[in-house]
Amino acid sequence: MEEQKIMGLSSDPDVYSKELDIAVKAVQMACSLCQKVQESLISKTKSNGQVQVQSKDDSSPVTVADWSVQAIVSWVLSEFLVSGNISILAEEDVQTLSKSNASGLLEAVVKTVNDCLAEAPSFGVKEPKSPLGTSEVLEAISRCNSTGGATGRFWVLDPVDGTLGFVRGDQYAVALALIEDGEVMLGILGCPNYPMRKEWLSYQHRYHRIISKLTPPTAETWEKGCVLYARKGSGKAWKQPVHDLDKKLVLQNCPIPVRVSSIDNPALATFCEPVEKANSSHSFTAGLAHSVGLRKQPLRLYSMVKYAAIACGDAEVFMKFAKTSYKEKIWDHAAGVIIIQEAGGVVTDAGGRQLDFSKGVYLEGLDRGIIASAGARLHEKIIEAVDASWGSSCL
């Protein structure tokens, strides 16, 4: 009971409470791991740093942190959720890691995983009897081979969302969700660089440097980094600080409820969108913003931190209009969608339909793009504006 209170769960029927407890702890561990890897990436000389950042077939980056987080989350869920075989659908695979010329990379992943597991007790998680061997780490990563679908229970994991932001010292997220019979039931979103003050969200690119200057570390302050979580139907979403082991900031701060903003006038809204214009049409959203009288600059943020900003009331609208040739993947959205919805917001495609997480890896049947808003009235107005602008756009 005491533990439930700490987690912020109400006295509602205990559905998913064990799963949520373990999942939040796994994401906390993942955030700690990512903070260390990001720091070492930024401080290292180019030649060292390159070992830790690889390029995938589609030229997107993947790092030691992506594989290591996938291994940690997979290991923790499988070890402590004994309800049968855990099924996980996740972004990364072991192809690159298993290549004969990747031994340095694989070693770095195994070390990062074991360093993180050695700190497991500080997160309330039992550490393994002995450090994991290479084959156990590879097995934990490759076990995440679920293909999802409309029936049964599976977890969805994006170990590092916004890897580009991560390697640039900027925003990124660790995203975990539980899907049952095609519906998102739990969402956990770790945002290790989420700032305490919303004004700091707009320090793109210079983020790391500026935050470290603005906030000399003290033992008490929660400067940056949070884990958000929500359970379907609870009508609540929660935020807790990322545990800072150096400052012994572990669960001392009880979770606080988060709620979307009450602004429903599009002209007053802050809207956020992807940083990369290759990922979403900046020109379409600029035209749309103009058409609703919105004059503020868009808040461009890497990763699902955009969903976090809406859920926390720090922004009001998120729009993503990817190229028609691109198919959105469920791990880029599941956790963020449930957290916004439970915090009082709305997320649909541009046709006003719920996103469909029941069709496997991709969000099939998506109408044009994704829109998240702080409330139903605002959402309606944005959808109307999208419809009005769409015909004259070149998308």
Ligand X SMILES: Nc1ncnc2c1ncn2[C@@H]1O[C@H](COP(=O)(O)OS(=O)(=O)O)[C@@H](OP(=O)(O)O)[C@H]1O
41 Cβ partners below 8 Å, 6+ apart?
A: 49, 52, 53, 63, 166, 167, 169
Query: How many of the chain's residues bind ligand X (CB under 6 A)?
Result: 20
Query: Helix, strand, coil proportions of the chain in percent (round to 5)?
Result: 40, 20, 40
* Residue 174 CB, nearest approach to ligand X (Å): 10
CB of 325 to ligand X, least distance (A): 8
Among 91, 223, 316, 349, binds Mg ion (CB under 5 A): 91
Nearer to ligand X, 21 or 161 (CB): 161
Q: Binding site annotation covers 158?
A: yes
Active site residue: 63, 112, 163, 348, which one?
A: 163
Interaction residues for ligand X, span 197-226 (CB under 6 A) = none
Take residue 258 and report the two structure tokens written for it.
Answer: 């988060």
> Site for ligand X (CB under 6 A): which residue of 187, 241, 274, 298?
274
Is residue 244 a known part of a binding site? no
Q: Which of 215, 201, 212 is nearest to 313 (CA)?
A: 201
Please say which residue, 368 or 381, places its beta carbon nearer to ligand X.
Answer: 368
**CB closer to ligand X out of 120 and 350:** 350
Residues 191-250 touching Mg ion, rule: CB under 5 A, are none
Q: Which two tokens stand for residue 128?
A: 């393994």
From residue 199, alpha-carbon distances to 26, 156, 268 in Å are 29, 31, 16
CA 105 to chain CA centroid, Å, is 24
Near ligand X by CB under 6 A: residue from 110, 275, 299, 308? 275
163 included as an active-site residue:
yes
Tell me: is residue 332 an annotated ligand-binding position. Answer: yes
Residue 161, strand partner residues: 173
Instruction: Report the residue number, 292 or 372, with the smaller CB distance to Mg ion.
Output: 372
Annotation says 66 is catalytic: yes
CB of 220 to Mg ion, least distance (A): 33
Q: Which strand (E) or helix (H) includes residue 317?
A: strand 317-320
What the block records as the tokens of 42 is 């930024």
Query: Contacts with Mg ion in 59-88 (CB under 5 A)?
Result: 60
Residue 326 interacting entry, from ligand X, Mg ion, none, C-beta within 5 to 8 Å by type: ligand X
Is there binding between residue 328 and Mg ion (CB under 5 A)? no
Number of residues that bind Mg ion (CB under 5 A): 7
Q: Which CA distances in Å does 126 have to 109, 135, 142, 370?
A: 20, 20, 22, 39
The H-or-E segment that residue 276 falls in is none
Q: DSSP characters for 98-152?
A: HSGGGHHHHHHHHHHHHHHHHTGGGGT-PPPSSPPPHHHHHHHHHT-B----SSS
End-to-end CA distance of the chain: 52
Nearest position to Mg ion, beta carbon: 161
Estimate the crossing angle of helix 103-118 against helix 134-142, to 10 degrees.
90
91 annotated as ligand-binding: yes
Within residues 33-62, the interface with ligand X by CB under 6 A covers 60
Query: Is residue 161 a contact residue for Mg ion (CB under 5 A)?
Result: yes
Sketch the per residue contact string, 319 through 358, with ligand X: x for CB under 6 A, - otherwise.
-x-x---x--x--x--------------------------
Q: Which is nearer to Mg ion, 157 or 260 (CB)?
A: 157
Q: Please report, as ranges, the residues that interact with ligand X according to CB under 6 A.
A: 60, 91, 158, 161-165, 274-276, 278-279, 302-303, 320, 322, 326, 329, 332
Catalytic (active-site) positions: 66, 163
Residues making up the annotated binding site for Mg(2+) are 91, 158, 161, 332
